Amino acid sequence: MTFSSKMRKFDKRIKSFLRANMYYHNKVKSNTNDGKKIIRKLFFSIRKNPGKYINVSKYDKTNVARSICDFIAGMTDRYAINLYKKIK
């Protein structure tokens, strides 16, 4: 067995492990779905009254949705979760 074939075999084992234990693990999928729910709720809540959360004068008024997305993208996880709890 050559070095190259050993590396390919090792690479497949690592990828298989990561898929089973990281990417598709039930807890990871659950956290990902929770995150999507939080982001969705934040977006629609901020869209109802963007001036309450962001300085609209600094953003493109022709594309408020883009400004809201940029605002949410700049949030830390902790900030987003705390804001979600306040809005909820």
pLDDT value at residue 42: 98
pLDDT at 15: 95
Tens of pLDDT, residue by residue, the chain (88 residues): 788 898 999 999 999 999 888 888 899 999 999 999 999 999 999 999 988 998 867 777 778 899 899 999 999 999 999 999 999 8
Residue by residue, what is the 3-state secondary structure of 35-58?
HHHHHHHHHHHHHHCHHHHCCHHH
pLDDT of residue 62: 79
- Whether 82 and 36 have beta carbons less than 8 Å apart is answered as no
